[in-house]
């Protein structure tokens, strides 16, 4: 089904089930420990994979160079060992989709903890012990690990964020001239840190062969991409590969791609002739897979005394492996504020650290941490309220293509509503004025912005003989609530109660969905289910001899004219369809918006920061389920506090690894660190976006939060720290 914009009302608009606060339908499985995660296909409830062995991955002990030799004799004789595959016996595998690191094969080492062997044994402990007996000699080469040192040689990236094509810069009007003439200016440089996804469930896979056919139970956000990617790496036909990933314990973008756990489980299983189970050990999550690259960003703003931006510059430098791309930290800056003279670009420094790749709101998260701090600095110089500064510079059109409007944009309402709810008028604009005993108290705010992408998504719906419904798609639920919103969509469309709908996800044998990434999952996967349900409604009506165009599906019945029938009277029926959007994004810019507000207290003796309360007012089209959407937003807000205050992969610039590669050394906040989080959703269904009139919120909740925290710290202390994370040593 091709989406026709502004198609008017549809059954979803009844909102009997869609839009209602609904607890997760998969909640009981998770809270009772019976949801089968990737590494758990061994219990009675988990779909037993018999005769499993354990695989343990050995990561390279150098960051750059070659493996000169490997001695596996002692390891091979160790108790329980079934087999070993080393990188020297395997040609370098072709690159997987979306990644640049070497996954496996060959002597060349391009980053620390690149996989160089996998050991299969009867138990995990035996595999681990044997892996540590493998003796490796390396020819070590010098690597490039320090972004600050590399930045001067960084080159301007092309439009795709790589160094392949022409350098790309947004140049509108005359930035230099306008900046030179502007009566009020800000020109500052900021840094953000390397960050790790640090998801609870590590990368994990079980691989089993049946002849030519490979099944991998894994933990992956994008099933259709990853099926093709794994087939390509292993030199197989895609139809011989099946992935299954019904539950995922967090991905945050790292699990958009296939990594060494899946590949080495497959190679290992082939070697030992048994299924192989691998859970990537925690240090490899940081150093073998990917991370969010650190950035050095510069913002130059010029404004008139009434706060109108006349000159706008945002540039960012980040590093990546050869062939990798930039952290797209300036992408929101192309769309967020009106300013007639603009200069925006990104630079890339080639390095030899573990791969930089997508992490929740790639680009916008660190980009807004910087831009929205610069806006706070500008507001102070102007003597203007920071909320009003954003409002004055709002735009309803793409600033680079004024003929292209936003489909919906209510940022101003987000900000005004937020200011009112938060008690923003109680903020003292002069920093370091408010004390509560030894604590300095401050308030900060920032704009949140994240794009919303329309992308094709398919689903199958099956009407059962008893009148219940099954939804099948390869869509994933990465903890976001997908099971629930897909069930709500199907129930609304077919006029069934929620408990009459069963949702099956994550199996590559089912229709290819949008998958979970870039906060596009919710709106597109529900639209795919919508399309399939439209088809099923027609099939049911025709079978019952009713007019499909007037048939009404309510309370398990179908009614048309003066006739009615039970849904179950139609017998078993199946429909499959895919939503498609064509070039919708050429006509409209689709984005989501937020006003983030934060109050902190800073200990005036120790510099310790406590977040007291946070508010997000979000505009993201129709909210499909306020319970799961709120959960996404407060999760994002918590992550934003992490990036503002503590998250930082520490780079060992001598040896080229992330030192704090575990959950003890890599600090993240938990909800208990933030006593009060409030989320308000504005009600602006977007009929130009998709049949659900919805957009994503999974990344919006994070975007801008870091700056709101930083600006609150500045308001509390009067010390402006431009290097994230704002640890206490920096503002003492």
701 near ligand MOS, rule: CB under 6 A: no
460 near ligand MOS, rule: CB under 6 A: no
Which stretch, 166-174, 266-274, 357-365, 395-403, contacts ligand MOS (CB under 6 A)? 357-365
**Chain center to CA of 502:** 26
Quickly tell me which residue has 């909800």 as its tokens.
Answer: 671
Residue 174: Cβ-neighbour burial (10 angstroms; 0-12, 13-18, 19+):
middle
> Which one from 343, 355, 472, 699 is the annotated catalytic residue?
699
Nearer to ligand MOS, 512 or 726 (CB): 512
Residues 6+ apart with CB under 8 A from 590: 406, 407, 451, 452, 453, 454, 584, 686, 688, 689, 695
Nearer to ligand MOS, 506 or 518 (CB): 518
DSSP string computed for 665-695 = TS----GGG-SEEEEEE-----TTT-TT-B-
CA distance 617 to 639: 17
Selected binder of ligand MOS within 198, 336, 359, 615 (CB under 6 A): 359
Beta pairing partners, 598: 444, 614
Nearer to ligand MOS, 259 or 360 (CB): 360
3-state secondary structure of 141: coil
- Cβ 436 to ligand MOS shortest distance, Å: 38
Asked if 727 and 645 count as a contact pair (C-beta separation under 8 A), the reply is yes
Annotation says 699 is catalytic: yes
- Cβ 296 to ligand MOS shortest distance, Å: 21
- Cβ 284 to ligand MOS shortest distance, Å: 19
- Cβ 520 to ligand MOS shortest distance, Å: 8
Do the strands 469-472 and 501-504 form a parallel or antiparallel pair, or are they unpaired?
A: parallel
- Cβ 483 to ligand MOS shortest distance, Å: 18
Nearer to ligand MOS, 12 or 453 (CB): 453
Selected binder of ligand MOS within 283, 517, 656, 706 (CB under 6 A): 517
Asked if 600 and 726 count as a contact pair (C-beta separation under 8 A), the reply is no
Residues 6+ apart with CB under 8 A from 499: none
518 near ligand MOS, rule: CB under 6 A: yes
Q: What is the DSSP letter of 698?
A: T
Nearer to ligand MOS, 517 or 706 (CB): 517
Nearer to ligand MOS, 59 or 521 (CB): 521
Quickly tell me which residue has 């709908």 as its tokens.
Answer: 501
Please work out the total of residues on this chain that contact ligand MOS, with binding judged by CB under 6 A: 9
Task: Give strand ranges (E) for 464-543.
Answer: 469-472, 501-504
Selected binder of ligand MOS within 110, 227, 360, 630 (CB under 6 A): 360
Selected binder of ligand MOS within 52, 221, 480, 591 (CB under 6 A): 221
Q: What is the DSSP letter of 395?
A: -
Cα–Cα distances (Å) from 542 to 249, 464, 547, 548, 563, in that order, read 42, 17, 7, 6, 13
- Cβ 360 to ligand MOS shortest distance, Å: 5
256 near ligand MOS, rule: CB under 6 A: yes
Cα–Cα distances (Å) from 541 to 1, 463, 570, 573, 575, in that order, read 18, 13, 8, 11, 13
Asked if 340 and 400 count as a contact pair (C-beta separation under 8 A), the reply is no
Selected binder of ligand MOS within 143, 362, 448, 511 (CB under 6 A): 362
Which stretch, 142-150, 356-364, 423-431, 552-560, contacts ligand MOS (CB under 6 A)? 356-364
Selected binder of ligand MOS within 59, 65, 143, 253 (CB under 6 A): 253
- Cβ 291 to ligand MOS shortest distance, Å: 11
Which stretch, 87-95, 296-304, 353-361, 492-500, contacts ligand MOS (CB under 6 A)? 353-361
Nearer to ligand MOS, 215 or 290 (CB): 290
Q: Which of 477, 501, 481, 478 is nearest to 491 (CA)?
A: 501
Structure tokens at 305: 């005394």
Residue 221 sits at φ, ψ, to 5 deg, of -80, -30
Give me the torsion for CA of 28, 33, 34, 36, rounded to 10°.
Answer: 120
223 near ligand MOS, rule: CB under 6 A: no
- Cβ 561 to ligand MOS shortest distance, Å: 47
3-state secondary structure of 458: strand
Nearer to ligand MOS, 251 or 656 (CB): 251
Residue 128: Cβ-neighbour burial (10 angstroms; 0-12, 13-18, 19+):
middle
Which stretch, 123-131, 182-190, 352-360, 399-407, contacts ligand MOS (CB under 6 A)? 352-360
- Cβ 591 to ligand MOS shortest distance, Å: 15
Query: Site residues (CB under 6 A) for ligand MOS?
Result: 221, 253, 256, 358-360, 362, 517-518
The residues that are catalytic are 699
């Amino acid at each position: 089904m091709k989406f026709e914009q502004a198609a008017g009302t549809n059954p979803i608009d009844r909102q009997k089930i869609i839009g209602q606060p609904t607890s997760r339908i998969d909640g009981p499985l998770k809270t009772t420990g019976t949801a089968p995660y990737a590494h758990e296909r061994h219990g009675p409830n988990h779909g037993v994979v018999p005769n499993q062995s354990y695989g343990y991955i050995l990561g390279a002990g150098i960051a750059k160079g070659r493996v000169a030799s490997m001695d596996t004799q002692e390891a091979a004789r160790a108790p329980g060992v079934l087999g070993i595959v080393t990188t020297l016996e395997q040609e370098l595998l072709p690159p997987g989709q979306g990644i640049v690191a070497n996954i496996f094969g060959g002597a060349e080492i391009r980053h620390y903890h690149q996989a160089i062997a996998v050991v299969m044994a009867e138990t995990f402990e035996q595999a681990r012990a044997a892996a540590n007996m493998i003796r490796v000699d390396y020819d070590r080469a010098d690597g490039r690990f320090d972004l600050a040192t590399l930045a001067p040689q960084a080159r301007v990236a092309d439009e795709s964020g790589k160094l392949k094509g022409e350098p790309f810069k947004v140049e509108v009007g005359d930035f230099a001239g306008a900046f030179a003439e502007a009566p009020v200016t800000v020109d500052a440089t900021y840094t953000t840190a390397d960050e790790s996804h640090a998801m609870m469930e590590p990368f994990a896979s079980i691989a089993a062969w049946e002849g030519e056919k490979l099944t991998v139970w894994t933990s992956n956000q994008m099933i259709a991409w990853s099926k093709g990617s794994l087939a390509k790496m292993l030199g197989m036909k895609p139809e011989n590969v099946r992935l299954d990933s019904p539950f995922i314990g967090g991905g945050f973008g790292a699990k958009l791609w296939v990594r060494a756990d899946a590949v080495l489980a497959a190679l290992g299983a082939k070697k030992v002739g048994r299924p192989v189970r691998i859970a990537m050990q925690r240090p490899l999550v940081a150093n073998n897979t990917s991370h969010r690259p650190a950035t050095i960003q510069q913002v130059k703003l010029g404004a008139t005394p009434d706060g109108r931006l006349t000159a706008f510059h945002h540039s960012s430098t980040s590093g990546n492996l050869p062939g990798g791309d930039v952290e797209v930290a300036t992408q929101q800056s192309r769309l967020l504020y009106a300013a007639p003279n603009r200069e925006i670009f990104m630079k890339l420094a080639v390095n030899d650290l573990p791969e930089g790749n997508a992490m929740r709101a790639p680009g916008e998260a660190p980009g807004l941490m910087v831009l929205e701090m610069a806006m706070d600095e500008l507001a102070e110089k102007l003597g203007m309220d920071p909320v009003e500064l954003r409002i004055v510079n709002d735009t309803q059109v793409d600033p680079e293509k004024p003929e292209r409007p936003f489909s919906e944009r209510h940022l101003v309402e987000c900000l005004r509503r937020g200011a009112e709810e938060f008690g923003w008028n109680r903020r003292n604009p002069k920093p370091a004025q408010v004390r509560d005993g030894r604590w300095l108290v401050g308030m900060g705010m920032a704009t949140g912005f994240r794009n919303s992408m329309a992308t094709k998504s398919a689903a199958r719906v099956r009407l059962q003989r008893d009148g219940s419904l099954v939804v099948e798609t390869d869509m994933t639920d990465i903890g976001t609530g997908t099971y629930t919103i897909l069930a709500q969509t199907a129930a609304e469309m077919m006029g069934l109660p929620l408990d009459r709908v069963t949702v099956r996800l994550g199996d590559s044998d089912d229709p290819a969905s949008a998958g979970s990434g870039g906060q596009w999952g919710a709106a597109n996967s529900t639209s795919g289910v919508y399309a399939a349900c439209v088809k099923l409604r027609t099939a049911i009506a025709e079978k019952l001899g009713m007019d499909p165009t007037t048939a009404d599906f309510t309370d398990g019945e179908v009614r048309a004219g003066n006739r009615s029938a039970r849904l179950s009277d139609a017998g078993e029926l199946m429909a499959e369809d895919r939503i498609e959007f064509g070039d919708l994004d050429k006509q409209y810019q689709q984005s989501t918006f937020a006003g983030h507000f934060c109050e902190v207290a800073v200990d005036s003796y120790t510099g310790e920061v406590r977040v007291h309360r946070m508010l997000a007012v979000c505009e993201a089209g129709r909210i499909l389920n306020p319970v799961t959407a709120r959960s996404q937003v407060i999760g994002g807000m918590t992550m934003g506090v992490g990036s503002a205050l503590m998250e930082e992969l520490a780079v060992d610039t001598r040896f080229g690894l992330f030192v704090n590669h575990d959950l003890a050394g890599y600090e993240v906040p938990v909800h208990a660190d933030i006593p009060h989080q409030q989320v308000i959703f504005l009600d602006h269904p977007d009929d130009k976006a998709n049949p659900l009139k919805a957009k994503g919120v999974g990344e919006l909740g994070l975007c801008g939060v870091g700056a709101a925290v930083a600006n609150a710290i500045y308001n509390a202390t009067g010390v402006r720290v431009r290097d994230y994370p704002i640890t206490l040593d920096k503002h003492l």
